[in-house]
Amino acid sequence: MSSIDTEMRKPSLDMAVKQRIAVKQIISPRHGESWTHTRQGDPRGFIETTALKELWIHTGSACNLSCPFCLEGSHPGDTRIPLLTLDEVKPFIHEAVELGVQQLSFTGGEPFVNRDFVNILDFASQHLPCFVLTNGTQALLGRAKQLAPLSNNPHPISFRISLDYPDQSKHDEGRGEGSFAESLRGIKLLREQGFKVSIARQMTPGENEQAVNESFYSIFQENGISERLAFTVFPDFGLPGTDDGSPEVTENCMLKYPTAQSRDDFMCSHTRMLVKRGDQIRVFACTLVDDDPDYDLGASLAESLKPRIMLRHHRCFACYSFGASCSAP
Ligand code: SF4
């Protein structure tokens, strides 16, 4: 995985700006390659779905921030993935309950940019526990009053807020001036409203994980957050429609290295994600591959559970090597 320091982000920003001007539909470069075999002709690694435990719901790719490293390529007004409405998502929530799904999870873009999102979250948490990825800044803070009553809903709602580094200026370089302080306000607000909060942070090559976490805890203490919040650490996934040159995952690799247990930890073995395409809601294999139509597994959750999922996307290697997962810690 490549470094995510500021200097290395500059070329990515140029590339992202060009992509945003040129295209709405962004396709992974590996989409044109064989679904079943690697470039060397070896059978690809694959995952078969065991049971659907978690349904991810993509609320739309619009965001209030424009981070150059965003794995969704999101920015204000982005329409690559249109905003989802409550009416569109209701049938899938009912199907998820019927199939025994244990959690509904939400991602974007920034979910709180979607004006229907609090209504969607209200409906969802009447049926199942919910988990929301958010940057914790203005879009969330602006809906604080609407959000507060949802802490009394039948099922709990937990949030994961993105704080890239335990360094305000380094975080703000990527996410915009003042965003670190806003996210800290978002964390405090959610805790005061009674919601559980965890943190998504960036992985730096060679880092001392415990030391990085302790630096965050010091900042939290200084800002009146006394809890030792849980972290999820992410590698750099690259922009949508790009290829980071990761090795291909063969069937032999999958049989030799991951155990049966660790194969079950791949998100595509137990999750799906709803993605709006035009005016249709489609079911994709996981949260990481909405830029390759071959990972579109159908129009219903039941239909999406049948196909074998081939590990062709370059982000599959992150799952293979880091055990990358968007799910709650
Ligand atoms: S990116 Fe990961 S979770 Fe998604 S299809 Fe590839 S291996 Fe599965």
Distance 262 CA to ligand 1 centre (A): 13
CA of 150 to the centre of ligand 1 (A): 32
Strands (DSSP E) contained in 77-236 are 103-107, 130-134, 157-162, 196-202, 231-234
Query: What is the distance in A from the centroid of ligand 1 to the CA of 323?
Result: 10
Q: Which two tokens stand for residue 315?
A: 């982000």
> Whose CA is closest to atom 4 on ligand 1?
286
User: How far is C-alpha 227 from the geometric centre of its chain's CA atoms?
Assistant: 24
- CA 169 to centroid of ligand 1, rounded, Å: 33
**Shortest-distance atom of ligand 1 to CA 249:** 7
Q: Which ligand 1 atom lies nearest to the CA of residue 266?
A: 3
The amino acid at residue 148 is A
**Tokens 């009146």 — which residue?**
224
User: For residue 115, how many other CB atoms are within 10 A of its CB?
Assistant: 10
Residue 127 Cα to chain centre, angstroms:
22
pLDDT the model gives residue 329: 55
What is the structure's pLDDT at 24?
A: 55
The CA 293 to ligand 1 mean position distance, Å, reads 14
Site to probe by mutation for ligand 1, drawn from 314, 315, 325 as the one with most ligand atoms within 8 Å of Cβ, is: 315
Where does residue 250 rank: exposed (0-12), middle (13-18), buried (19+ CB within 10 A)? middle
Q: What pLDDT is stored for residue 325 in this prediction?
A: 61
Tell me the β-bridge partners of 280. 277
Q: Taking CB atoms and a 6 Å cutoff, what residues make up the pocket around ligand 1?
A: 47, 266-268, 285-286, 288-289, 309, 311, 313, 315-316, 319
The protein residue with its alpha carbon nearest to ligand 1, atom 7, reads 316
3-state secondary structure of 43: strand
Ligand 1 centroid – CA 1 distance (Å): 16
Predicted TM-score of the model (pTM)? 0.88
Describe the strand order of the beta sheet including 157-162 as a list of residue ranges: 231-234, 196-202, 157-162, 130-134, 103-107, 54-58, 271-277, 280-284
C-alpha 26 – ligand 1 centre gap (Å): 18
Q: State the DSSP string of 147-168.
A: HGGGGGSSS-EEEEEE---S-H
**Cα-to-centroid distance, 60 and ligand 1 (Å):** 20
The pLDDT of residue 206:
87
d(CA 116, ligand 1 centre) in Å: 29
The distance from CA 294 to its chain's CA centroid, rounded to whole angstroms, is 19
Pocket test residue of 275, 311, 312, 325 for ligand 1, highest count of atoms within 8 A of CB = 311
31-71 per-position pLDDT tens digit = 989 999 999 999 999 999 989 999 999 999 999 999 998 88
Write the DSSP symbol of residue 29: G
For the stretch 275-306, what's the b/e string if a residue is b when 16 or more beta carbons lie within 10 angstroms of its beta carbon? bbeeeebbbbbbbbbbbbebbbbeeebeebbe
Testing ligand 1's pocket by substitution, the residue of 268, 269, 271, 308 carrying the most ligand atoms inside 8 A of its CB is 268
Angle among Cα 234, 9, 247 to the nearest 5 degrees reads: 55
Query: Nearest-CA neighbor of 180 among 200, 197, 207, 162?
Result: 162
| Closest CA to ligand 1's atom 5 | 268
* Atom number, ligand 1, closest to the C-alpha of residue 324: 2
- Cα(1)–Cα(268) distance, rounded to whole angstroms? 21
* Each residue's pLDDT expressed in tens, for the chain with a length of 329 residues: 333 333 233 333 334 333 443 345 788 989 989 999 999 999 999 999 989 999 999 999 999 999 998 888 899 999 999 999 999 999 999 999 999 999 999 999 999 999 999 999 999 999 999 999 999 999 999 999 999 999 999 999 999 999 999 999 999 999 999 999 999 999 999 999 999 999 999 988 888 999 999 999 999 999 999 999 999 988 777 777 788 889 999 999 988 877 877 888 899 999 999 999 999 999 999 999 988 999 999 999 999 999 999 999 999 998 888 765 666 65
Domains in the chain and their CATH numbers?
48-238+269-305 (3.20.20.70)
Are 201 and 216 a contacting pair, CB within 8 Å? yes
Give, in degrees to the nearest 5, the angle at Cα 113 between 191 and 7: 85
Spatial distance between the Cα atoms of 125 and 143, rounded to a whole number of angstroms: 17
pLDDT value of position 258: 72
Q: pLDDT (tens digit, 9 = 90+) per residue, 263-273?
A: 888 999 999 99
Dist CA 170 CA 305 (whole Å): 41
Residue owning tokens 């998504």: 200
The whole-number pLDDT of residue 75 equals 94
**Rounded to a whole number, what is the largest CA-CA distance in the chain?**
56
Which of 35, 319, 326 best tests ligand 1's pocket when mutated (most atoms within 8 Å of CB)? 319
